[in-house]
């Protein structure tokens, strides 16, 4: 995750990976191989590339758009066809959409196609430059969730540029916060950055509600709960998949001092008190 205000060089850093911007000093290595030692077209064909404006080819059908890199790599037609149908389903579209043109799609659908196109030749590395930046908030959240699910399935190294710290916290395993002028302000896990911002710049950038943001990183099933026997009878109930942030919000709105955690089957596994939430936030970062 590359995040930071504009002018921090997020996109520049990303574009040096596939050498859309040439490297003047230093080096970038992928699996130990310098990107400068590779042939430019081979390098780029081996890296999935997704940009905010998508950049689908308007004159090609969705299927042909997705098949762009496989075609360059000389795959047989049948395989390209099968692959684009497979990918359309993977990104939540229908195989029949392969025959449509980009002009007939909504913004969210186009970005799904853009993602499918980047995944076409199954590259181990993906570069994503504000991929959900131009999409309405509701669709954006859905695409983020779907991408996280997809990411768990396909396991790729993703370099993701965003100016939205919440998106970075939600999507990233590691976050690099860049300061104006391309200075690296902090590089760490989301939890560590929220718990221990390295400078006032980072502290300001992540926001005064960083405690709450930290809570959204953890779910009830991830933390040690207290015995439910201490809970009051009318305490609200939550599923184990609920984030601590949502659980806290529930306590505040219900005027309760704790929530009871219960699975789908109604079996109570414990409770979380207001005090415990506060204690958890003051604990050292859990690796």
Partner 1 sequence: MIHIVAAGPVIPNYGTAHGCIANDNAMFCTTWIREHWHDTLEPALVQHVWLTAIAVGIGFAIAFAFALLAHRFGWLAPTFSAFSAFLYTIPSIALFQLLVPVTGITVTTIEIGLVGYTLLILFSNTLAGLRSVPPEVIEAARGMGLTQFQILRRVELPLAFPAISAGIRIGVVTTISLATVAAYITPYGLGKPIFDGLQINYRTEYVVAGLLAIALALVADGVLVIVQRRLTPWRRATA
Kindly list the residues in this chain that would bind partner 1 in the complex (CB under 8 A).
18, 20, 40-47, 49, 51, 53-61, 68-69, 72, 100-104, 114, 117-118, 127
Query: CA 106 to CA 92: how far, in whole Å?
Result: 13
Nearest approach in angstroms of CB 249 to partner 1 is 39
Query: CA 149 to CA 246: how far, in whole Å?
Result: 21
Query: CA 3 to CA 10: how far, in whole Å?
Result: 7
Residues 6+ apart with CB under 8 A from 194: 169, 206, 210, 211, 213, 214, 217
Nearest approach in angstroms of CB 163 to partner 1 is 18
**Residue 34 or 53 having the CB closest to partner 1:** 53
Backbone angles phi, psi at 238, to 5 degrees: -135, 155
Nearest approach in angstroms of CB 76 to partner 1 is 19
Nearest approach in angstroms of CB 47 to partner 1 is 8
Query: CA 287 to CA 277: how far, in whole Å?
Result: 18
Strand, coil or helix: 131: coil
**Residue 125 or 212 having the CB closest to partner 1:** 125
Is the four-CA dihedral 156, 122, 129, 11 of positive or negative sign? positive
**Residue 68 or 186 having the CB closest to partner 1:** 68
Backbone angles phi, psi at 11, to 5 degrees: -65, -40
Alpha carbons within 13 angstroms on the beta-carbon side of residue 268 total 15
**Residue 6 or 41 having the CB closest to partner 1:** 41
**Residue 4 or 114 having the CB closest to partner 1:** 114
Contact 119, 90 (CB under 8 A): yes
Nearest approach in angstroms of CB 127 to partner 1 is 8
Nearest approach in angstroms of CB 152 to partner 1 is 25
Strand, coil or helix: 285: coil
Nearest approach in angstroms of CB 71 to partner 1 is 9
**Residue 129 or 188 having the CB closest to partner 1:** 129
**Residue 47 or 194 having the CB closest to partner 1:** 47
């Amino acid at each position: 995750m590359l995040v930071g205000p504009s002018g921090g060089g997020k996109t520049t850093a990303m574009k040096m990976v596939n050498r859309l911007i040439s490297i003047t000093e230093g080096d970038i290595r992928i699996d130990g191989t310098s990107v400068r030692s590779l042939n430019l077209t081979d390098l780029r064909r081996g890296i999935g590339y997704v940009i905010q404006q998508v950049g689908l080819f308007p004159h090609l059908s969705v299927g042909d758009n997705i098949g762009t890199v496989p075609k360059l790599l000389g795959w047989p037609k049948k395989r390209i066809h099968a692959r684009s149908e497979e990918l359309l389903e993977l990104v939540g579209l229908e195989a029949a959409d392969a025959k449509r043109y980009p002009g007939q799609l909504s913004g969210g659908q186009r970005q799904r196609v853009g993602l499918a196109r980047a995944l076409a030749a199954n590259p181990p590395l993906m570069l994503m430059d504000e991929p959900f930046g131009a999409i309405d908030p509701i669709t954006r959240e859905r695409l983020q969730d779907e991408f996280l699910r997809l990411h768990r399935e396909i396991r790729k190294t993703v370099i993701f540029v965003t100016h939205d710290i919440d998106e970075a916290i939600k999507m990233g395993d590691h976050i690099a916060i860049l300061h104006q002028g391309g200075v690296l302000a902090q590089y760490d896990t989301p939890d560590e950055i929220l718990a221990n911002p390295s400078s006032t710049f980072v502290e300001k950038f992540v926001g005064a509600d960083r405690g709450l943001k930290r809570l959204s990183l953890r779910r009830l099933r991830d933390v040690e709960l207290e015995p439910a026997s201490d809970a009051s009878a009318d305490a609200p109930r939550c599923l184990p998949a609920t984030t601590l942030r949502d659980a806290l919000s529930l306590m505040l709105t219900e005027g309760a001092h704790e929530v009871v955690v219960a699975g789908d089957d109604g079996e109570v596994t414990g409770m979380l008190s207001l005090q415990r939430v506060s204690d958890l936030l003051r604990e050292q970062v859990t690796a």
